[in-house]
Structure 1
Amino acid sequence: MFNTIITLVRGRSHDAAQAVADANALSILRQQLRDAATGVEAARRSVAVVMAYAERERKSLPRINAQIADLEGRAMVALAQGREDLATEAASAIAQLEAERATTETAPATYEMEIARLRDELGGAELRLRDLKRGMQLADAAQKSQTVRGVVSRPVTASLAEAEATLSRLQSRQLHAEATALAVVELSASQSAEAISARLAAAGCGPSIRPDAAAVLERLKQKSA
């Protein structure tokens, strides 16, 4: 049971950390790209340092050759003068210089191989960094677009819905008003026609519209007969 609780706590901690990372993914990506850019710049400086070493080795070879030639000449003079002690010192210096020359002659090739390798790595890192920066810019633009869309769409949608409801109510009232006005016109026309018919009937023009007492009495007499 204790292990289960520990596992649950670890799982929730991981979920919480993942949620924080997801919510701040763009900020994390920016910092990671800054760190990567710093690393790429350090790699670029390293390549420059190696190139400087290689150039120094190339330039030191003529100097060593000149020193060897100078010592050889002086040693020959010392031997001619019977100064073998001085010639021996010169020979020792020449031996050291020849060893240095041997190392210097192989160093440029080694440096060139290292420079080529570092340049390939640096080029790949720079390409990946550019791609990541481009991707971050797209992600940043997409996030801003989503934010703006969310800010704009919600009030716009609500406003449109309210406007549609208002328009519907207005149209309903207008239709009702038009129907009422039409009914009034029809009623007025009907009442006007009935009034004219009544006046005509009262003037003896055609049968009476409304039965009067004399007509009712006459009808009753006819029924009783």
Structure 2
Amino acid sequence: MSIFKKIITALRGGVRETGEAIVDANSTRIFEQEIRDSEKHVTIAKRDLTEVMAKQMQAARELAQLQESIKEHEGYAMQALNQGNEALAIEVAEKIAELENSAADQQQTNESYLKSADRLKVLIKKSERQLTDYKRQLSMVKTTQSVQKATSAITDNFVASNSKLLSAKDSLERIKQKQTLFDDKLKAAEQLESENSDTSLKSKLQGAGIGAQQSNAQSILARLKTK
């Protein structure tokens, strides 16, 4: 049973490692998608904020109407009292009390909407700042990846080029060796031909002072003096 548990644990570890490998391989794509999802949520939050602000405006408008109505009925009550009509004044006072209760409730509603709107504005601004920073970092990540890919390609090409350059260098050396050997063969052939020719014999005779000698300035001058 213990071995079976270990096998299950090993399988779970393998699944986790595979999952992490998939996440690592697609981390940039996942990060970019998370940014898009966050942007959608911010858009929804802005729409909700618009509704809250609209309701707050409506609540403020209704509160103002209630407060105006209270002032109006206070005037009615004062007129009734001035006329000595206390019963009518009490009836108006009851109406004022009803309006004040409604105004108090409306005041709470209005303040609640104001607080919600302010809180949403802060959260949206914070989210937008965070998204701006994430987008900047995403751009940097993509640029870094592009540079790394280019560097890797350059390195691979450089290694391959070095191998090709070494091979080309060897080929060039072989070509040069063949050409040098060819030149040496030509020189050797010319030397053999020279040694086997009459020119070579004449050169040897002249060197020994035998046969016709080439004229030079001293010999010519000596001949002229004898004349």
User: How high is the TM-score relative to the length of structure 1?
Assistant: 0.70
Is residue 26 of structure 2 the alignment partner of residue 24 of structure 1?
yes
Counterpart residue identity of residue 133, structure 2: D
1:115-170, CA deviations, whole angstroms, 9 ceiling, x for partnerless residues? 33332222221111111112222222333444455566645753563355234313
Contact 2:80 2:89 in 1 (8 A): yes
Cα separation, partners in 2 of 1:196 and 1:91, compared to 1, 3 Å: same
Question: How far, CA to CA, are the matches of 2:50 and 2:92 in structure 1?
Answer: 37
Match of 1:54 among 50, 53, 56: 56
Corresponding position of 2:121: 119
Contact 2:194 2:200 in 1 (8 A): no
Corresponding position of 2:8: 6
Cα separation, partners in 2 of 1:118 and 1:203, compared to 1, 3 Å: closer
Counterpart residue identity of residue 190, structure 2: S
Cα separation, partners in 2 of 1:93 and 1:22, compared to 1, 3 Å: same
1:147-202, CA deviations, whole angstroms, 9 ceiling, x for partnerless residues? 45556664575356335523431343124313430342144235414544874599
Corresponding position of 1:95: 97
Question: How far, CA to CA, are the matches of 2:34 and 2:204 in structure 1?
Answer: 105
Question: Higher mean Cα deviation, 139-148 or 24-33?
Answer: 139-148
Corresponding position of 1:40: 42
Question: How far, CA to CA, are the matches of 1:203 and 1:13 in structure 2?
Answer: 100
Question: How far, CA to CA, are the matches of 1:204 and 1:102 in structure 2?
Answer: 142
Which secondary structure state, in structure 2, belongs to the residue aligned with residue 16 of structure 1? helix
Displacement after TM superposition at 1:17 (Å): 0.8
Displacement after TM superposition at 1:96 (Å): 1.8
- Within 5 Å, give how 1:63-212 maps onto structure 2: 63-75=65-77, 80=83, 84=87, 89-105=91-107, 108-147=110-149, 154=156, 157-158=159-160, 161-189=163-191, 191-193=193-195, 195-196=197-198, 199-200=201-202
Counterpart residue identity of residue 172, structure 2: L
Question: Higher mean Cα deviation, 19-28 or 48-57?
Answer: 48-57
Question: How far, CA to CA, are the matches of 1:204 and 1:126 in structure 2?
Answer: 106
Displacement after TM superposition at 1:82 (Å): 5.3
Question: How far, CA to CA, are the matches of 2:144 and 2:21 in structure 1?
Answer: 20
Cα separation, partners in 2 of 1:205 and 1:64, compared to 1, 3 Å: closer
1:51-106, CA deviations, whole angstroms, 9 ceiling, x for partnerless residues? 3333333333331122123333445566749593x655543332121122234445
Gaps of 5+ in 1: 207-225
Contact 2:52 2:113 in 1 (8 A): yes
Displacement after TM superposition at 1:13 (Å): 0.8
Displacement after TM superposition at 1:27 (Å): 2.0
Contact 2:59 2:106 in 1 (8 A): yes
Question: How far, CA to CA, are the matches of 1:124 and 1:170 in structure 2?
Answer: 67
User: How high is the TM-score relative to the length of structure 2?
Assistant: 0.70
| % identity of equivalent residues | 25
